[in-house]
Amino acid sequence: MEENALKEKMPQDVIAVCAMNAVLHTEGVAEMAPLPALAKEIEGTKGVRIAESRKGLEIDVYLNVRFGAKIPDTAWKIQENVKHRLEDLTSAKITQVNIHIMGVSGKPDAKGNVQNQ
Protein backbone atom coordinates (compact mmCIF):
# COMPACT_ATOMS: atom_id res chain seq x y z
CA MET A 1 0.00 0.00 0.00
CA GLU A 2 1.26 3.45 -0.86
CA GLU A 3 2.42 5.73 1.99
CA ASN A 4 -0.01 8.53 1.01
CA ALA A 5 -2.95 6.13 1.20
CA LEU A 6 -1.92 5.21 4.75
CA LYS A 7 -1.57 8.85 5.71
CA GLU A 8 -5.04 9.76 4.45
CA LYS A 9 -6.69 7.12 6.65
CA MET A 10 -5.01 8.16 9.90
CA PRO A 11 -7.68 8.41 12.63
CA GLN A 12 -8.25 11.73 14.37
CA ASP A 13 -7.30 10.31 17.76
CA VAL A 14 -3.83 9.42 16.44
CA ILE A 15 -3.46 12.89 14.92
CA ALA A 16 -4.58 14.45 18.22
CA VAL A 17 -2.03 12.46 20.22
CA CYS A 18 0.74 13.56 17.84
CA ALA A 19 -0.39 17.19 18.15
CA MET A 20 -0.47 16.89 21.94
CA ASN A 21 3.07 15.48 21.99
CA ALA A 22 4.31 18.28 19.74
CA VAL A 23 2.81 20.84 22.13
CA LEU A 24 4.22 19.20 25.26
CA HIS A 25 7.72 19.10 23.75
CA THR A 26 7.71 22.86 23.18
CA GLU A 27 9.74 25.02 25.56
CA GLY A 28 7.52 27.14 27.80
CA VAL A 29 4.57 24.71 27.88
CA ALA A 30 3.65 23.45 31.34
CA GLU A 31 0.74 21.13 30.53
CA MET A 32 -2.29 20.60 28.37
CA ALA A 33 -5.55 22.10 29.61
CA PRO A 34 -9.03 20.59 29.28
CA LEU A 35 -11.24 21.81 26.47
CA PRO A 36 -14.01 24.31 27.28
CA ALA A 37 -17.18 22.84 28.75
CA LEU A 38 -19.16 22.21 25.56
CA ALA A 39 -16.28 21.01 23.40
CA LYS A 40 -15.93 17.27 22.87
CA GLU A 41 -12.50 15.90 23.77
CA ILE A 42 -10.96 13.18 21.62
CA GLU A 43 -10.52 9.99 23.64
CA GLY A 44 -7.01 9.52 24.95
CA THR A 45 -6.05 13.15 24.53
CA LYS A 46 -6.36 16.34 26.50
CA GLY A 47 -6.52 19.86 25.16
CA VAL A 48 -6.69 19.13 21.41
CA ARG A 49 -9.59 19.67 19.04
CA ILE A 50 -9.43 18.86 15.33
CA ALA A 51 -11.80 20.15 12.66
CA GLU A 52 -11.70 19.06 9.04
CA SER A 53 -12.48 21.46 6.22
CA ARG A 54 -12.12 21.30 2.46
CA LYS A 55 -8.82 23.13 2.74
CA GLY A 56 -7.31 20.84 5.38
CA LEU A 57 -7.16 20.35 9.13
CA GLU A 58 -7.73 23.05 11.72
CA ILE A 59 -6.13 22.29 15.07
CA ASP A 60 -7.03 23.97 18.36
CA VAL A 61 -4.77 23.38 21.36
CA TYR A 62 -5.55 24.36 24.93
CA LEU A 63 -2.64 24.63 27.35
CA ASN A 64 -1.05 26.23 30.36
CA VAL A 65 2.31 27.93 30.00
CA ARG A 66 5.11 28.01 32.53
CA PHE A 67 5.50 31.13 34.62
CA GLY A 68 8.04 33.41 32.93
CA ALA A 69 7.58 31.96 29.44
CA LYS A 70 7.36 34.49 26.63
CA ILE A 71 3.84 33.77 25.42
CA PRO A 72 4.20 35.09 21.83
CA ASP A 73 7.41 33.10 21.31
CA THR A 74 5.93 29.98 22.90
CA ALA A 75 2.75 30.21 20.82
CA TRP A 76 4.77 30.62 17.61
CA LYS A 77 6.93 27.59 18.44
CA ILE A 78 3.82 25.52 19.21
CA GLN A 79 2.27 26.45 15.88
CA GLU A 80 5.45 25.52 14.02
CA ASN A 81 5.94 22.23 15.91
CA VAL A 82 2.35 21.06 15.50
CA LYS A 83 2.15 22.04 11.83
CA HIS A 84 5.44 20.35 10.90
CA ARG A 85 4.78 17.19 12.94
CA LEU A 86 1.28 16.69 11.54
CA GLU A 87 2.20 17.49 7.96
CA ASP A 88 4.96 14.89 8.23
CA LEU A 89 2.41 12.29 9.40
CA THR A 90 -0.55 13.04 7.17
CA SER A 91 -1.06 14.20 3.61
CA ALA A 92 -3.64 16.73 4.82
CA LYS A 93 -2.71 20.38 4.79
CA ILE A 94 -2.71 22.02 8.22
CA THR A 95 -4.52 25.30 7.63
CA GLN A 96 -4.65 26.59 11.19
CA VAL A 97 -3.08 25.89 14.54
CA ASN A 98 -4.97 27.97 17.09
CA ILE A 99 -3.39 28.40 20.51
CA HIS A 100 -5.58 28.90 23.59
CA ILE A 101 -3.60 29.81 26.71
CA MET A 102 -5.83 28.79 29.61
CA GLY A 103 -3.48 29.61 32.47
CA VAL A 104 0.00 29.91 33.90
CA SER A 105 1.69 27.22 36.00
CA GLY A 106 4.29 27.96 38.63
CA LYS A 107 4.91 31.05 40.67
CA PRO A 108 7.94 32.92 41.94
CA ASP A 109 9.03 32.47 45.54
CA ALA A 110 10.29 35.32 47.74
CA LYS A 111 13.71 35.18 46.01
CA GLY A 112 12.20 35.29 42.53
CA ASN A 113 12.87 31.65 41.71
CA VAL A 114 10.06 29.94 39.83
CA GLN A 115 8.50 26.90 41.45
CA ASN A 116 6.34 24.81 39.13
CA GLN A 117 3.26 23.22 40.59
pLDDT of residue 76: 98
pLDDT-based confidence at residue 4 (cuts at 50, 70, 90): very low
DSSP characters over 66-108: ETT--HHHHHHHHHHHHHHHHHHH-SS-EEEEEEEEEEEE-EE
Instruction: Please determine, looking at this structure, whether the domain spanning 3-108 carries the CATH number 3.30.70.1350.
Output: yes
32 or 12, which is more confident? 32
Residue 7 has pLDDT above 70, yes or no: no
> Would you kindly state where each structural domain of the chain is located, as residue ranges?
3-108
pLDDT of residue 38: 65
Buried b (16+ CB within 10 A) or exposed e, 25-43: ebebbbbbbebeeeeeebe
Query: Stretch 10-34: mean pLDDT, rounded?
Result: 93
Query: Stretch 72-82: mean pLDDT, rounded?
Result: 97
Instruction: State pLDDT tens for residues 24-52.
Output: 999 999 999 998 876 676 777 889 999 99
